[in-house]
Structure 1
Amino acid sequence: MMVRLIAAVLLVGIMMFVARRATVVPTRGQSVVEIIIDYLRENVVYSTLGKVEGKKYEKMLLTMFFGIFAFNITGIIPGLNIASTGLIGVCLVLAATTWIVYVVNGVRKHGAGGYVKHSLFPPGVPVALKPLIAFIDFLQVLIIRPATLALRLTINMIVGHLLIVLTYSATNYFWVQAPSNFNLAYGAITFVGILFITCLEIFVATLQAFIFAILSAVYINMAISEDH
């Protein structure tokens, strides 16, 4: 919880600092933030939901991306050393938020009965298969989508954390606890592993934030679109 609070405070502080110092001719920091926001807006929000519908959800989706990234990246920051999303609680809250948004807006768009029909009974399905398809779609809407959102993020962060712990522990063992000519060489290999896994974790932290945001946009679009 402390790591999450630190990540949240730093994220809000950075964004407030950039926003308050924003100028027509952007500084380097402002340029970086604007480039990231523009990229996400075009490639996550508008490309999935369209510009009209996308404007309704862009604040939520952009906040999700930046928040998840901040919670992910703490896994490689010295002194913090744990991804806040490596524990299932925050991931469940984020997944539940997406679920509530797409269900509520699907009902608003189609009405309660219309949304059930839209979600569970796609057109063109043979009558004999409709009960099976409806059951599968019911599981998707109610359980599978939010569960996979939460589990995908959590498991990726847990695995990354374990790999970092493993390489650090191995290097400490070879260099500190059992030093010898052979062990020093093995320690050099595991130290390279630390650098590799750390770089990989930066990539995964960004990728998982992007995937969570774009899947949230896809699920919202499936709920509000006219076609199944």
Structure 2
Amino acid sequence: MNAVLPFLPRADEGEGFHAPTLGEFFPEVFLFEGTPFEINRIIMVRLIAAAALILLFWIGTSRMKIVPGRFQSVIELGIGFVRKNIGEDLLGRRDGERFLPVLTTIFFMVFALNVTGVIPFLNIAGSSLIGVPLVLAAVAYITFIYAGIKARGGKFFKDALFPPGVPKPLYILLTPIEFLSTFVLRPVSLTLRLLMNMVVGHLLLVLCFAATNFFFTSGAIDGVARLIGGGTLAFGFFFTLFELLVAVLQAYIFTLLTAVYIQLAVSEEH
């Protein structure tokens, strides 16, 4: 078990069961300690995910053919999914194509950094610390504000904070609410939704497999312990499949909400 999940403590390393803690997300530095380029396990996972994405897209697009090969088909399928189901459905053909590079980058980055949480020997999502979700939320935030200014100029902020058709006295109450919901809560909700899903998912997986490790490696193994260990192992594999689904869903939801915010920014009426 420890060969596959190296972060799990063995039962003989201490008495009793060791439950997962938030310390899982702050691993020790193993390269360049004391410099701005410190690398721990999570940074390593992020670098691996980014390198895998770059390699996949480079192989898939370096020699484009009319009859696509394996990697080209994967790239075209992924881009086509984002273009059709997110970009064009929400933004229309023109704006869908215009913002496709940003939407595609967000989708694949979120997915790649999420899915590392269920890959053996990596076993933690690159998006399970706030830095990456915050950067991606900032990209979405800047993109929808840029889209609004580009499409409507200063009228974008005016309509966002002072919706037309509302009695003026209500602006005293409505404008602060609109400011918070549009310019504060959107990036915050994007960040926290992605972050908390990855944190909770990782803790559930560690809890299940740590319990399995404890019951199978503790000193006194009996039938009941083996039965419980088998149950926690089954739950662990079930949650692994569930986390794979969550990795895809979170990439889709994050990208979809980004497109929704862009659509609201470029539309004439909210």
Task: Give TM-score scaled by structure 2 length.
Answer: 0.81
Q: Aligned residue for 2:228?
A: 186
Letter matched to residue 169 of structure 1: A
Q: Please name the residue that 1:222 is paired with.
A: 264
Corresponding residue to 1:75 among 113, 117, 134: 117
Which residue in 2 is equivalent to 1:16?
Answer: 58
What's the CA shift string for 1:117-136, capped at 9, x where partnerless?
12112223233322212111
| Residue 37 of structure 1: how far off its partner (Å) | 1.6
State the Cα distance separating 1:21 from its structure 2 match. Answer: 4.0
Q: 1:88 aligns with which of 126, 130, 136?
A: 130
CA offsets 1:23-69 (integer angstroms, 9 cap, x no match): 21122333233222212111101111111111111001001100110
| More helix by percentage | 1
Displacement over 6 Å in runs of 4+: none
Q: Which whole-Å CA distance do the structure 1 matches of 2:176 and 2:133 have between them?
A: 26
Distance 2:230 2:118 in 1: 20
8 Å contact from structure 2 (residues 56, 71) kept in 1: no
The letter for the 2-side match of 1:3 is V
* Alignment match, 1:160: 201
Report what 1:107 is aligned to. Answer: 149
The alignment-based identity, stated in percent, is 45
Trace 1:114-193 onto structure 2 (pairs within 5 A): 114-177=155-218, 178-193=220-235
Q: How many residues align?
A: 227
Q: Distance in 2 between matches of 1:179 and 1:146?
A: 50
Q: Residues 87 and 103 of structure 2 are in contact (CA less than 8 Å); yes or no, is this contact kept in structure 1? A: yes
In 2, Cα distance between the equivalents of 1:17 and 1:149?
31
Q: Deviations over 1:9-28 (max 9, x none)?
A: 01110111111243211223
Displacement, 1:79?
Answer: 1.4
CA distance in 2, matches of 1:129, 1:183: 64
* Structure 1 unaligned blocks of 5 or more: none
Whole-Å separation in 1 of the counterparts to 2:86 and 2:205: 30
Task: Provide the alpha-carbon RMSD of the alignment.
Answer: 1.3
Alpha-carbon distance in 2 for matches of 1:33, 1:168:
34
- Matches of 1:74 and 1:21 in 2, distance apart? 28
The amino acid across from 2:78 in the alignment is I
Amino acid at match of 2:174: I
- Give the Å deviation of 1:109: 2.0
Offset at 1:175? 1.0
Q: Which amino acid aligns with 1:116?
A: F
Normalising by structure 1, what TM-score? 0.95
Aligned amino acid, residue 91 of structure 1: P
How far, CA to CA, are the matches of 1:14 and 1:108 in structure 2? 33
Match of 1:205 among 247, 253, 264: 247
Q: What is the alpha-carbon distance in structure 2 between the residues aligned to residue 136 and residue 59 of structure 1? A: 32
State the structure with more CA Rg.
2
Segment of structure 1 superposing worse, 47-56 or 146-155:
47-56
Asked if 1:63 is matched to 2:105, the reply is yes
Q: 1:71-104: CA deviations, max 9, x gaps?
A: 0001111111110111001111111111111112
User: Alignment partner of 2:99: what SS?
Assistant: helix
- Matching residue's letter, 2:68: P
